[in-house]
C-alpha cells in the first residue's frame, strides 16, 4: 500500500478525582487546556481524521470535544461504549473494524489500555525519540501517532510505527 494510514491514540485529559460515578467524572480546567493543546499539536502535524472512536465516559467525550475544536476539525465522534472498560484486545478489535475508506483514525480512551495499545502496536521502526518517550509512560492527555501500512482488519502487534508523541 503506497498511502499509509494514520492511527492516533489519545488517553483522556486530566479529570476530577470524583463525580456522581467514575463514568461521569468531568475534566478539570487543566484537562481542558491540555486537550486543546493536544488538538493544536495534531493540527500542526497535519493530522486530519476521518473517524474518531471515543469512549462514552464524560471525560473522554470532553477530551475529544476540546481536541476537535482546537484542531479546527468538525468531526462528530463515534461513541464506543465498550471502550470505557476495554482491554487491549477489545480496543484492537474496534480498530480492526474501521471502514476501509478511513485513512486517519483517532481513538480516545482510558489507561492502561491506551498506553498498552500504543506500545503493543509499535514495531520499533518509527521515530526513536517518540518511541522512547512512549516507553516512559502514557499520562493523561498523552497522544501517540502511528503510521500503518495495511488494511485496518490486519492491524496487529508490532505492525505500526510510532511517528509522533505528545504529552501535556
Look at residue 94 in the predicted model and tell me its pLDDT.
97
> Residue 148 has which C-alpha cell?
500503518
pLDDT in tens, the chain (168 residues): 458 999 999 999 999 998 899 999 999 999 999 999 999 999 999 999 999 999 999 999 999 999 999 999 999 999 999 999 999 999 999 999 999 999 999 999 999 999 999 999 999 999 999 999 999 999 999 999 999 999 999 999 999 999 999 998
47/13 Cα distance (integer angstroms): 19
Look at residue 156 in the predicted model and tell me its pLDDT.
97
Look at residue 2 in the predicted model and tell me its pLDDT.
57
Q: How far is CA 33 from CA 15, 36, 37, 74, in A?
A: 12, 5, 6, 19
Look at residue 3 in the predicted model and tell me its pLDDT.
82
Sheet holding 5-11, edge to edge: 78-80, 51-55, 104-109, 5-11, 143-148, 160-166
Look at residue 1 in the predicted model and tell me its pLDDT.
46
68/35 Cα distance (integer angstroms): 9
Would the annotation count 103 as a binding residue?
no
Does the model's pTM come out above 0.85?
Answer: yes
Which of the four CATH numbers 3.40.630.30, 1.10.3210.10, 1.10.1740.10, 3.40.50.1240 does domain 6-15+24-166 have?
3.40.50.1240
Amino acid at each position: 500500500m503506497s498511502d499509509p494510514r494514520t492511527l492516533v491514540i489519545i488517553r483522556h485529559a486530566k479529570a476530577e478525582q470524583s463525580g456522581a460515578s467514575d463514568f461521569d467524572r468531568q475534566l478539570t480546567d487543566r484537562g481542558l487546556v491540555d486537550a486543546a493543546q493536544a488538538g493544536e499539536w495534531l493540527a500542526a502535524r497535519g493530522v486530519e481524521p476521518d473517524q474518531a472512536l471515543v469512549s462514552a465516559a464524560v471525560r473522554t467525550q470532553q477530551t475529544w470535544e476540546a481536541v476537535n475544536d482546537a484542531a479546527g476539525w468538525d468531526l462528530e465522534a463515534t461513541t464506543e461504549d465498550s471502550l470505557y472498560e476495554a482491554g487491549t484486545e477489545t480496543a484492537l478489535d474496534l480498530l480492526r473494524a474501521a471502514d476501509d475508506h478511513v485513512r486517519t483514525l483517532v481513538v480516545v480512551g482510558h489507561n492502561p489500555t491506551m498506553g498498552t495499545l500504543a506500545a503493543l502496536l509499535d514495531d520499533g521502526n518509527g521515530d526513536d525519540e517518540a518511541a522512547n518517550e512512549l516507553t516512559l509512560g502514557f499520562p493523561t492527555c498523552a497522544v501517540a501517532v502511528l503510521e500503518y501500512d495495511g488494511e485496518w482488519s490486519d492491524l496487529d502487534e508490532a505492525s505500526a510505527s510510532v511517528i509522533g508523541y505528545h504529552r501535556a
